Structure formats: structure tokens, C-alpha cells
Structure 1
Amino acid sequence: MKTCMYCGTEVTVKETVAHCEFCQMDLAASEVMKNSERKKNVVKPIVDLSNIMKSTKELMLMSTYELLALLQLVRKDRSMAYDNMIQVKTLRQKAKDENNEVMVKSIEETLESVIEDYAFVTRKMWVIENILAERMDTVPARITDSYLERFFEKVQSRKSTPMLFGSSKATVNH
């Protein structure tokens, strides 16, 4: 029996469209399950900073766990970018104080690049935070390794029991 992944109700299949009467919506093929089973979450536990180069649309396709792990990495990277920016600004000020115009010009070119890196990482952080806020209604202020471990365990232990009432296969429609 083909069923809805959201409520477990039997769906009506017409050509390439499945319709759930209880949810009052059409379902994509990936949203149709068998025998009231729940859809399994597929999470890749390994996330690296290279994911920062993905477009916003691509980031939106990542799981919540993956985004949380990426946000943790991006925040660390942003902190390092900020520290680099402060160090370069300090060097520039030191060169200005010594009236070393050649050094000031060289440092300012470096500073421009460092500021661009910081701005890029900051904007990506905002994108990830906003995607998470849409999904979770909040964004953790601090993401630790133990927070990610607990979150991952919750995702993996999500109920996999079929969505059925007792031993009967009764369907409740509204």
C-alpha cells in the first residue's frame, strides 16, 4: 500500500501524481512511502569548510545537521578572518607611524583582500543562520562538538515505527 510520508494515510495515485487526502496535498515520488513507513533521514556526518563555496540554493538542500556542523566551522573561520584583519590593520598603523609609505601601500593591498575574505565568510554565516532559523525557528548561539553529537544521535534514533493505530490498519480521515 502506498502511503504519505507525513501522516501514514493511504494515497491516491493517478499517473505520476500521488495525492494525500488527509494532508490535502500532492506528493512527489520521494514523499510516497509503503505501508505507513516513515521516511529515513539520510545525514552525512562529515562536513568540511569547502561546503562554504556552495550557492545558497545548494546550502538549502543540505540537512539541518550538516548546516549546523558547517555553521560551527564557518564561525571558527570567521573568527580567524577577523583576527587576521585586526593584525593587518595593526601592521598598517605601525608602518604609517614609521612613515614607511611603500610598506603602507603593500599592507593596504593585503588588507583589502583580508577584508573581502572576512566579508565573504560573514555573509555565508548569515545565509546558513537564516536557513537554520527558517527550519528550527532559532539558531544556536554556540555550537559545540557535544551539541552536534547529541543532535546527530537524535536524528539517527528518530522513530522508525510505522504510523499505524494499534494493531489495526484503520485510516482516520477528516
Structure 2
Amino acid sequence: MGYTCPYCGSGLHDEEDHYFCDFCVMDISKDQAQMGGHRIHETHQKVDPSDLKKTTPELMTYSTWSLILLLKEARKIRTPLYKDLAIARSKSRGKRDKEKADYIAAEYHEITKRMYILENILKKRLSYVPDQLTDSFLSKYEKQMNNKKTNAPMQNYEPGREN
């Protein structure tokens, strides 16, 4: 069997630099095409706190799962900064204290914006922003990613041929 569409499982027509799916009426890039009706394979990047510094277009290429893990990391970094900022502002007496409070405020605002970017990408994909990223939530989400329906190949029904 040749290459199949990752969305509907139909056979693809080989074009010059891509494939074409007649059923979906769309071009399929060579790297998206599947074999034997397999579904889209989502690759998950390993996330690292340094990924929070990536540009929005770069983050938009991450899998939803990777973005969820990165959002959890951003929130983990942001929480103590909020507490430190409140303490620094309450103790702000001299120039040195003010500089420290300003530094913490800048860090807090930076991570908050990064968090907003992640939340908004996720909102566009999931139609909501995950509230609490608990171990229970992550476990359920991971279980859904690995369920049989998600990963089972699609059946290709061709006229005149019984499957």
C-alpha cells in the first residue's frame, strides 16, 4: 500500500513536492503522509525551562502535550516570583531595595507574558486554558494520548472492494 492521508486514510496522489488527497481536497506534505492508514503521529519535544525563552512561532510548533508541560514549568517559576515581589515591595526602603524590587518585577512580568503565550496557544487548540496542571490531570491526558482509538489505523473503504 502506498502513502495515505493522515486525516482520512485515503490513498494519496504523488505530486512534485507533496501529496494530494482527493477526499480532503488538500495538499499533504511529504513528512505528514502516512503508510497503511495510520493516523497523524504527534512528536513530543522534551521540554526544558530554557524553552520558555523561545519565540511564539517556535512555541506554536510544539505539540499540545509539550506546551502543557511547559506551562506547568512556567507556573512553577512564576509562583515564587509573585511571593518574592510582594515581599520586596513591602520592604522597599532604600535605593538598593527598590532596585531589587524592580528586578523581581521585571522577572515576574517576563514569565507572566511567557505563561500567557502558552495559555493562549493552548486555548486555541483545546478551546480552554487548563486550570490546574496536577499529576492527576497530566496522567489522564497522557492516558488519552495513548488510547486505542487515538492510535488505531483508519480503515480505507474502496468502492468494489470489501474490507
Equivalent residue, structure 2, for 1:131:
121
Superposition pairs of residues 132-171 of structure 1, within 5 angstroms: 132-158=122-148, 159-164=150-155, 169-170=157-158
Cα deviation 1:96-117 (Å, max 9, x = unaligned): xxxxxxxx11111111111100
Matches within 5 A, 1:19-58: 19-44=20-45, 46-58=46-58
Cα deviation digits, residues 108-143 of structure 1 (max 9, x gap): 111111110011011001000000011001111111
| 8 Å contact from structure 1 (residues 164, 170) kept in 2 | no
Bigger RCO (CA 8 Å, 6+ sep): 1
The aligned runs of 1:39-118 (5 Å cut-off) are: 39-44=40-45, 46-92=46-92, 95=93, 104-118=94-108
Q: Give the partner amino acid of 2:88.
A: V
Q: C-alpha separation between the residues in 1 aligned to 2:43 and 2:74?
A: 22
Counterpart of 1:126 in structure 2: which amino acid? Y
How far 1:4 sits from its partner (Å)?
0.5
Counterpart position of 1:14: 15
- Corresponding residue of 1:99: none
1:40 Cα shift?
2.5
Q: Which has the larger radius of gyration?
A: 1
How many Å apart are 1:157 and its aligned residue?
A: 2.8
SS of 2:31's partner is helix
SS at the partner of 2:19? strand
- TM-score norm. by structure 2 comes to 0.88
Identity of aligned residues (%): 30
CA distance in 2, matches of 1:142, 1:55: 24
State the 1:42 CA deviation: 2.4
How big is the alpha-carbon RMSD for the aligned residues of Structure 1 and Structure 2? 1.6
CA distance, structure 2, for counterparts of residue 12 and residue 75 of structure 1: 46
C-alpha separation between the residues in 2 aligned to 1:140 and 1:112? 30
